[in-house]
Structure 1
Amino acid sequence: MNLKLRLIILNFLQFFVWGAWMMTLGHYGFVEKQWNGAEFGLVFSTMGFASLIMPTLFGIIADKWQAKYVYAILHLLFGATMCFLPLIDAPMPFFWVLLVAMSFYMPTIGLNNSIGFNVLKNEGKDPTTYFPPIRVWGTVGFIVAMWITNLFTKEWGFGQSIKVSFFIAAIMAFALSLFSFIFLPVVKKEPKSLAARTLVQKLGLEAFVLFKQKKMALFFVFSLMLGAALQLTNAYGDSFLQDADVFPKGGIINNFSTIILSISQISETLFILAIPFFMKRLGIKNVMLLSMLAWVLRFGLFGLAGNTNIGFALIVSSCIIYGMAFDFFNISGALFVEQNTDSSIQSSAQGVFMLMTNGVGAVLGNIIAGFVIAKWFENPITHAKDWPGIWYSFAGYALVVAILFSVLFRYKHNPKEA
Structure 2
Amino acid sequence: MKPMMFRLGSMMFLEFFIWGAWFVTLGTFLGAGPLHATGSQVAAAFLSQSIGAILAPFIVGLVADRYFSAQRILAVLQLVGAVLLWFAASAATFSSFLTLIMVYMVLFMPTLALVNSVAMRHMDNPEKQFPPVRVAGSIGWIVAGVLIGWLGWEQQHRLELTFQMAAGASLLLAIYAFTLPDTPPLKRGADVSMSDILGLDSLRLLKSRSYLVFFLASVAICVPLAFYYSFTNPFLNDLGVKGAAGLQSLGQASEVILMLAMPFFFSRLGVKMMLALGMGAWVLRYILFAFGTVDSTGYALLVGGIILHGICYDFFFVTGQIYTDQHAGPKFRTAAQGFITLATYGVGMLIGSWLSGIVVDHFTVNGVHDWKSIWLVPAGVAFVVLLVFLALFRERADRTAPATHPA
TM-score, length of structure 1 as denominator length: 0.90
Residues 99-139 of structure 1, C-alpha deviations (whole Å, 9 max, x = no match): 1000111000010000011122xxxx211111211111111
Moved more, 305-314 or 392-401: 305-314
The offset of 1:346, in angstroms, is 1.8
The offset of 1:196, in angstroms, is 4.4
Q: Does the 8 Å contact 1:41/1:367 carry over to 2? A: yes
In the alignment, what sits opposite 1:394?
378
Q: Aligned equivalents of 1:211 and 1:82: distance in 2?
A: 39
Q: Aligned equivalents of 1:384 and 1:234: distance in 2?
A: 20
Q: Does the 8 Å contact 1:285/1:413 carry over to 2? A: no
Residues 275-304 of structure 1, C-alpha deviations (whole Å, 9 max, x = no match): 222222221011101000000111111111
Q: Aligned equivalents of 2:361 and 2:185: distance in 1?
A: 49
SS in 1 for 2:25: helix
Give every structure 1 segment of 4 or more consecutive aligned residues whose post-TM-superposition deviation is greater than 4 Å.
none
SS in 2 for 1:316: helix
In the alignment, what sits opposite 2:180?
184
Aligned AA (1:177): A
In the alignment, what sits opposite 1:292?
279
Q: Does the 8 Å contact 2:224/2:379 carry over to 1? A: no
Q: CA RMSD in A?
A: 2.2
Using a 3 Å threshold, how does the CA distance of structure 1 residues 218 and 92 change in structure 2: closer, same or farther?
farther
In the alignment, what sits opposite 2:358?
371
2:368 pairs, out of 360, 384, 398, with: 384
In the alignment, what sits opposite 1:301?
288
Q: Aligned equivalents of 2:284 and 2:92: distance in 1?
A: 35
Q: Does the 8 Å contact 1:200/1:206 carry over to 2? A: yes
In the alignment, what sits opposite 1:250?
none
1:113 pairs, out of 111, 116, 120, with: 116
Tell me, which stretches of 5 or more residues in structure 2 are unaligned?
A: 400-405
Q: Aligned equivalents of 1:191 and 1:37: distance in 2?
A: 43
The offset of 1:186, in angstroms, is 0.9
Moved more, 351-360 or 206-215: 206-215
Residues 1:229 and 2:224 are matched in the alignment: yes
SS in 2 for 1:412: helix
Q: Aligned equivalents of 1:104 and 1:42: distance in 2?
A: 17
The offset of 1:200, in angstroms, is 2.4
Q: Does the 8 Å contact 1:43/1:91 carry over to 2? A: no
In the alignment, what sits opposite 1:251?
none
2:73 pairs, out of 58, 70, 92, with: 70
SS in 2 for 1:189: coil
Identity of aligned residues (%): 31
Q: Aligned equivalents of 1:117 and 1:221: distance in 2?
A: 29
Q: Aligned equivalents of 1:180 and 1:100: distance in 2?
A: 21
In the alignment, what sits opposite 1:407?
391
In the alignment, what sits opposite 2:136?
137
Q: Does the 8 Å contact 2:274/2:319 carry over to 1? A: yes
Residues 1:163 and 2:164 are matched in the alignment: no
The offset of 1:197, in angstroms, is 4.3
Equivalent positions of 1:8-27 (< 5 A) are 8-27=9-28
Residues 1:323 and 2:298 are matched in the alignment: no
In the alignment, what sits opposite 2:30?
29
SS in 2 for 1:393: helix
Q: Aligned equivalents of 1:57 and 1:30: distance in 2?
A: 32
In the alignment, what sits opposite 2:243?
256
In the alignment, what sits opposite 2:403?
none
Q: Does the 8 Å contact 1:36/1:383 carry over to 2? A: no
Q: Does the 8 Å contact 1:210/1:216 carry over to 2? A: yes
In the alignment, what sits opposite 1:215?
210
Q: Aligned equivalents of 1:400 and 1:308: distance in 2?
A: 31
Tell me, which stretches of 5 or more residues in structure 1 are unaligned?
A: 248-253
TM-score, length of structure 2 as denominator length: 0.92
Q: Aligned equivalents of 1:78 and 1:372: distance in 2?
A: 31
Aligned AA (1:391): W
Moved more, 289-298 or 30-39: 30-39
Q: Aligned equivalents of 1:155 and 1:75: distance in 2?
A: 26
Q: Does the 8 Å contact 2:250/2:307 carry over to 1? A: yes
Q: Aligned equivalents of 1:191 and 1:54: distance in 2?
A: 17
SS in 2 for 1:187: coil
Aligned AA (1:24): T
Using a 3 Å threshold, how does the CA distance of structure 1 residues 204 and 155 change in structure 2: closer, same or farther?
closer
In the alignment, what sits opposite 1:79?
82
2:237 pairs, out of 237, 242, 252, with: 242
In the alignment, what sits opposite 2:196?
201
The offset of 1:91, in angstroms, is 3.0
Residues 1:3 and 2:18 are matched in the alignment: no
Count of matched residue positions in the alignment of Structure 1 and Structure 2: 398
Residues 363-412 of structure 1, C-alpha deviations (whole Å, 9 max, x = no match): 1001111112212x111xx3211011111111111111111111122222
Q: Does the 8 Å contact 2:148/2:243 carry over to 1? A: no
Moved more, 62-71 or 14-23: 62-71
